[in-house]
Structures are given as C-alpha cells and as structure tokens.
Amino acid sequence: MAKIIRLLSKGLRVLKTKAGFSFLITLALFLAGVAISTAHAQGIDLSHKASPLKTPVPAKNFTLSDTDENTHQLSDLRGKVVVINFWAVWCPPCREEMPSLERLRRKLADKPVVVMAVNQGEDAEQILSYLWGLDPVPEFPVLLDSDMKISADWNVTGLPTTYIIDKKGNIVYRMIGGREFDHPEIIKVIEKLLAAE
C-alpha cells in the first residue's frame, strides 16, 4: 500500500509540471475526439417531441449577419412561424439534426415558415466547410453569434437548443437536444401555429 501511495505522489508531482499538464490536455482532447467519433459512428437518436412553454414569451429581437454577410433582424419576420436553432459544429447532436432542418424548410417552403440557425462562436469558414458536406446542404440562413451574446440573451444553456416562434413573435416551444425536425409530429406543431390567428 505504501508503494502505491509513493507512485501516486510521484505521478501527481509530474502532472504539476508543464509536460505533465500538456499530457493531460492532449489526453483530454484525444478522449473527447474518441467520444465524438463514437457518437457519430453509432448515430444519435433524435427526438421528435416539441416542448411547449407553459406561457409564451416575446422573442427578444436581434440583428445578426449570416455566413454570406447578409444581415437578418428577427422582428422583420413577424407574421411568420420561425424555427431558430442554436448550434455549433463541435456538437454531435447539432451535426446530426442539421439535415432535418433543411428537409423541414423544403417541406414547408410554400408556407410562411422561416428556418434559421444561430452558430455559437465559430467562424464562417469553419461552419461552411462543415455545411457543404451535408446532404442536403442547408439553404436557410446560418447566423453568426460570434461573441455568444444573443445565445446568452436567449438563455441558451445547452446545444442544440431550438425555439419555435409564433406569427405574433412569441416563443411557444423550446427544445433542448437533437430533434428530427421533418418528423410528422413537429410538422403538425408548426402547421397548427400557421393555422392560428
């Protein structure tokens, strides 16, 4: 037992050095990469449940640029149902659900529905290199929340987080975690909002 304690003590002293700290960081990054690869290889189960808010709340307005440097202001979308997805390239469920957002947009293209994604803190080049590899490639606006201020204003506590906003500009659904957005249950929720006065 004393020998094990001496070995642990020696190991802790090594970890306190720069080399030991670098090793720990490298190991942590490697293990995170393995976890992400494993999650992606196994596929991530996406939900199709939309979570209604008990009481709708007004959506906070924002103005953000997209990956093509066009500016979008949320308040300009009054009268439409808006699906806003907060995401990041590094997030496995975000990556898994992204094609379903584009399929949703295509299914409802003839209706007053807007789909947009708000990326947290990544640059346009990194985002686009990921998006161009998707099938289907998203054609909806991907907005850049570079300083994550909008995400903080919207109380985004985990990724992905998606909000559905009614035609009056109120958040009526909030979903944390991956979704299959083109699932009939979610489409039914959106069509119900479209039919509301």
Q: What is the pLDDT of residues 47-92, one digit of tens each?
A: 888 889 999 999 999 999 999 999 999 999 999 999 999 999 999 9
**How many angstroms separate the CA atoms of 150 and 138, rounded?**
22
User: Would the pLDDT of 14 be above 70?
Assistant: no
Contact 102, 67 (CB under 8 A): no
Domain map of the chain by residue range? 2-42, 52-195
**How many angstroms separate the CA atoms of 86 and 89, rounded?**
11
Which of 23, 187, 168, 32 lies closest to 106, judged by CA? 187
Residues facing residue 13 across a β-bridge: none
Q: How crowded is residue 152: how many other Cβ atoms within 10 Å of its Cβ?
A: 12
Tell me the pLDDT band of 38, cut-offs 50, 70 and 90.
very low
What average pLDDT does range 152-178 have in this prediction? 97
pTM over 0.85: no
Helix (H, G, I), strand (E, B) or coil at 83: strand
Q: Euclidean distance between the first and final Cα of the chain, in Å?
A: 74
Q: State the pairing for strand pair 170-176/142-145.
A: unpaired
- Provide the CATH number for the domain formed by 52-195 in this structure: 3.40.30.10
